[in-house]
Structure 1
């Protein structure tokens, strides 16, 4: 009887999981197949809300010039670009100067120097441009992200869509699904590309479509400074009785590594606002990521997310194709005598087909023939590695980010930890992955 109940639960869970996956798949097909030009793009400057683009920088990211240039060619009549660098000797400054010299008519400037408000270096770097930005609407884009020229206009459309509707909840944040592309193809880059562009994108889109709760990755986020200024990061509804000495605004999120996810959750729970996703992607340049760097990146995501959304982290292995397929295969064998291998073949082929079609929907084309074999191979490896990485990660609390060690606390905050440099699997000093400020990404998944 117990085995039969377990089998029934597995079938219900499997059906629910496929329903969620299909929601993400069909939404990707519908929403990302057409990217219409925003009417705001051709409006006069005094007829549109201004936007301040904030780009935090640290070091030379992959394709940095091309990444930064995409925010200088936005089809929108009223915006400024602020490049934030905490160190006057940072190598990124040379690239910024080249980008600004190529586009002298764009309202752009560099803000050098940070303001330490917590352990999160991205938040510290953003504090000055956050306060000094000309416009209330802020668009924060990570340094390794490229966006299409019409992205700003469509994002502002989404942000303002409910402003004039009296009974509709106002949109407080617009974000974009990450879409990875690897300019170099070591194993780690291939696995990251296969993960972000298939199962991760499918589930991310589905969860936001169902809008049960906040689910935000901070590669590209647009919100209003006037809204952020009301937030405390406690995720409790804002009231007039709030502690007047409590930090508010962006500074309140310096104590978290996953500031993007916490800002999204605070907008949702403290202000009662909702999120939206436009039909654009945040094109994430991965670069040269080793297998080791991929492993530690996934570990960091799990360990940070564990203290933010424990229940979702615990059930995560049961959303992965390998474990859920094996369990449902066993249940069918136990109940009906159906061959496990036959079920696993059908299950894997169907799962792969959906994931590849999600890639095609986001990219606007199928996986290129030149990398199709290696992409599918990386997809299989990613699926097989998901459970072992989760087991390793879930029992620890320390993470490494941008060359520093942190301990993630039970209240989701983080503390610096002084540790000697860890040794890699091959006995060399471990190299931190080069993506700037990636703790902002699924820290949902970074929670990302």
Structure 2
């Protein structure tokens, strides 16, 4: 056998075997995520802290950044006022006294006079990230070390705070068994579409299935930080010891960007960077509670969905190792299934037409089971099942084209502004003095079609006209 003949024989053989090994690894992760969802989210016991004496439990400061009338804003905010926890305060933060969210905020403050709630109006610019600028004054005024930061489109079950504090600040006998202290508690997002537009349904299908499954699996394995910032608890004292450089600091070493929440104003994905800083700079752990961050998805167009995926793909590409970006399409059902079907045909002559239907049926079965665990009730064949199925199929088919397009360019569109992302995840605002984007490189001729036009009322609203 010549060298060229050997290559023609062994290279396809090795590639086919590697593909099958990778397929097995991905299925192992998927099943791990499914098992974790079943064990963690199908039973949510009441915490003893819920009925404890206020002086015997750690105080918690709840920070909620607000801008405009997000979908279900009243219900989302009210869920923090009705937490079954005896010792907490709430900070409700808006940038402008003309913000429409203030009407909702004032109504809730009047409805719950016994809740220690504070309204903060006006942002302080400490970086590029508008969420950090909105929260920084409340962060400095917080009376408690434990902070709970929730996005405005998130609602939480009444027992969420108590169960989360159980994990973040466990009894001493539990703490002594931990090799690394838990410094951050986060909640997996569970999306629900308040308006059934195409983009909203696709976003709902993505977050509640593939995203949740892999999020749970990665956090169960726990090899590295993986945090989504919809709903996070951490200690202010820990945040004051990190700066986002992801390098361990000595006590006497200067922090080049300062410390605390303000240090993360230079990042757009501050949630991910805070999680990584706690993990890598302090060598501490994260954990998930048995609660979800119930996330309202408003009227999101198909084009909005595409822009959202492009934005976070580009952010991840700059913030994480290059290999993570390269591997991502090999974790998606369509691309992975297609490659595996070719490998099986090459190795064992298994027909593609036989393997692929089995692959997709099993894949969506696991995805739907994860969704049911998070939702707390069956979702298959309920009302709305068929639109969900169509949205799931469309999401899977779009995964590779969106990933491929996101590779080209580093600019992202967020809240009506264009940002450039640097290699370390920092962002700079691109645009004119009015704050409007000077150029939107993500737009295409698709945007001229009504089907793809962006909507201003989904759960990441654009800048209001009076701003």
- Which TM-score tier does this pair reach, normalised by the shorter chain? over 0.9
**1:51–1:137 Cα contact (<8 Å) kept:** yes
Pair 1:417 & 2:430 matched: yes
Taking structure 1 as the reference length, the TM-score comes to 0.95
Structure 1 counterpart of 2:3: none
**2:447–2:454 Cα contact (<8 Å) kept:** no
Structure 2 counterpart of 1:442: none
Match of 1:22 among 16, 26, 31: 31
Gaps of 5+ in 2: 1-9, 432-436, 463-467
CA shift for structure 1 position 103: 1.3
- C-alpha change, 1:142 and 1:244, in structure 2 (3 Å) is closer
**1:403–1:432 Cα contact (<8 Å) kept:** no
Match of 2:345 among 327, 330, 333: 333
CA shift for structure 1 position 245: 5.4
Pair 1:8 & 2:30 matched: no
Q: Deviations over 1:314-372 (max 9, x none)?
A: 21100000000000000111111110011000000000000000010000112261100
Pair 1:130 & 2:151 matched: no
Match of 1:295 among 306, 329, 333: 306
Match of 2:293 among 259, 262, 282: 282
**1:122–1:437 Cα contact (<8 Å) kept:** no
Q: Deviations over 1:71-124 (max 9, x none)?
A: 000000000111011111111111111111221111111011111111000011
C-alpha RMSD of matched pairs (Å):
1.6
- C-alpha change, 1:317 and 1:188, in structure 2 (3 Å) is same
Once residues 421 and 245 of structure 1 are traced to their aligned partners in structure 2, the CA distance between those partners, rounded to angstroms, is 32
Q: Where do 1:248-397 residues align within 5 Å?
A: 248-309=259-320, 310-367=322-379, 369-397=382-410
State the secondary structure of the residue aligned to 2:124. coil
- C-alpha change, 1:411 and 1:66, in structure 2 (3 Å) is same
Pair 1:435 & 2:459 matched: yes
Once residues 187 and 293 of structure 2 are traced to their aligned partners in structure 1, the CA distance between those partners, rounded to angstroms, is 6
Structure 2 counterpart of 1:175: 186
Structure 2 counterpart of 1:446: none
CA shift for structure 1 position 432: 5.5
- C-alpha change, 1:198 and 1:162, in structure 2 (3 Å) is farther
**1:176–1:278 Cα contact (<8 Å) kept:** yes
Once residues 355 and 197 of structure 1 are traced to their aligned partners in structure 2, the CA distance between those partners, rounded to angstroms, is 8
State the secondary structure of the residue aligned to 2:89. strand
Once residues 416 and 378 of structure 1 are traced to their aligned partners in structure 2, the CA distance between those partners, rounded to angstroms, is 33
Structure 2 counterpart of 1:239: 250
Q: Deviations over 1:210-254 (max 9, x none)?
A: 100000000000000000001111001121242255411111100
Structure 2 counterpart of 1:399: 412
Structure 2 counterpart of 1:201: 212
Taking structure 2 as the reference length, the TM-score comes to 0.91
Q: Where do 1:27-106 residues align within 5 Å?
A: 27-106=36-115
Once residues 316 and 273 of structure 2 are traced to their aligned partners in structure 1, the CA distance between those partners, rounded to angstroms, is 11
Once residues 213 and 461 of structure 2 are traced to their aligned partners in structure 1, the CA distance between those partners, rounded to angstroms, is 24
Once residues 369 and 124 of structure 1 are traced to their aligned partners in structure 2, the CA distance between those partners, rounded to angstroms, is 43
Query: Which one has a bigger Cα radius of gyration?
Result: 2
State the secondary structure of the residue aligned to 2:288. strand
State the secondary structure of the residue aligned to 2:319. coil
Once residues 51 and 79 of structure 2 are traced to their aligned partners in structure 1, the CA distance between those partners, rounded to angstroms, is 18
**1:406–1:414 Cα contact (<8 Å) kept:** yes
**2:95–2:134 Cα contact (<8 Å) kept:** yes
**1:24–1:204 Cα contact (<8 Å) kept:** yes
CA shift for structure 1 position 48: 0.2
Q: Where do 1:154-165 residues align within 5 Å?
A: 154-161=163-170, 164=173, 165=175
Aligned length: 438
Structure 1 counterpart of 2:221: 210
